[in-house]
Structure formats: structure tokens, C-alpha cells
Amino acid sequence: MTRWWRWLLPLAAVPVLALLAYGFKLDPRDIPSPLVGRPAAPFTLTSFDGAPMTLEALRGKVVVLNFWASWCYPACYEEAPVLERGWRAYRDRGVVVLGVDIQDKEEAGRKFIRDFGLTFPNAPDPTGRVSVDYGVYGVPETFFVDRQGRIRVKHVGAVTEAVFRDTVEALLAEPAPGG
């Protein structure tokens, strides 16, 4: 009688261990978004200033759509100055930064904007409709929309200076729609 089966059990554990080793190295927060490459969902919100905030009016511009909340510490606090600097540096080159404050108290959101001196448009999303339309599952999440209105990059976690610059430059380097 061959005893090949004596080796079979330990050998069967090898692929299982390999799978676990691979799985434990993955970041469970890094969930691929099915929205990348698809047209950005249209929305109309009312900004904290009372002005309408809509995506449709921005076709032809590169849009950085940032979802944040005042309770999201520290990531949102790290990226707020980055977004403000990026907005100031790139607004003349056809880049718009939009902030959507989700699952927040309005007063806390206003204070956050004041504290960081944010000058780009920011709007609350009181019903959560826009958050769900963009498949947001946490804050901060940032969508980079190209000039054709398609979502090109979804960034989970605080946007760094390098991520902002590199992504926006790459999208600006693409030819504008229709030309």
C-alpha cells in the first residue's frame, strides 16, 4: 500500500496558507470602484453659501470632487489645506475643486470651512444621495473627473500634494473634448 495520502493532507494546507498570506497583505479598505472610467453622475447641491453646485456646468474642466466630514480626523484635516492650495494653484488652468460634506452637522461643516479658510465651493449632502451615487463608503474619498466628465481616479484617504498635482497634471495634459 502506497502512503501517498500521508503527504496529501499537509500538501493540501499549502495553497490554503498561500491564499491566507496573500489575503492578509491586502488592504481591506481598498475596494476597487466600478465607477472609474464611467461618466460622473450628475448632481445639484446647494453650497453652504446658498449657491447651486452642479457638475454639468463644469464640462470641459478637470474636477476634483472631494467627500469629507468635519468629524473625519485626521485624514480630512490633513488634506483640507492640500485641496485649498491645489485649488488656488490650478483654478486658472481649468481645474475646479468641489467639496461635499457628508453625514455631518451643518454648523460643524461651516466651522471646518472657516477654520481652514476654504475658498472652493463646498456643499452639504443632507440626504446622502450624492454620496451613494458615487459609492462613497467613508471619508475622505476624492474623485478626479476628466474634461469629458468621466471619473478617472478614485482616491481613498487623504489627498497628498503629490497625488493632487500628478493626477491633475495628467488630466490637464489630455486634449480637451472636441479638440
Partner 1 sequence: MTASAGRRTPSGPAVLALVVVLLAALPADAQQPSRPVDDQQVYEVAADLRCVVCQNLSVADSPSEMATQMRAIVRERLAAGETPAQVRQYFVERYGDWILLSPPRQGFTLVVWVAPLVAVLVGLGLVALLVRGWTRRRGPALPPVDPAMRERIRRELEREP
Which of 1, 13, 17, 162 contacts partner 1 by CB under 8 A? 1
Interface map 49-88 toward partner 1 (x if CB under 8 A): ----------------------------------------
SS (H, E, C) 78-121: HHHHHHHHHHHHHHHHCEEEEEEECCCCHHHHHHHHHHHCCCCC
DSSP 163: H
- For partner 1, the closer CB: 112 or 134: 134
Q: C-alpha grid cell for residue 94?
A: 481649468
Q: Is 32 in the site for partner 1 (CB under 8 A)?
A: yes
Which of 90, 134, 144, 164 contacts partner 1 by CB under 8 A? 134
Which of 66, 131, 142, 167 contacts partner 1 by CB under 8 A? 131
Neighbours of 124 (CB within 10 A): 21
Q: Is 127 in the site for partner 1 (CB under 8 A)?
A: yes
CA distance 152 to 142: 11
CA atoms within 13 Å, Cβ hemisphere of 51? 7
Stretch that binds partner 1, among 56-64, 80-88, 111-119, 122-130 (CB under 8 A): 122-130
Binding residues for partner 1, rule: CB under 8 A, are 1, 5, 8-9, 31-35, 103, 127-129, 131-138
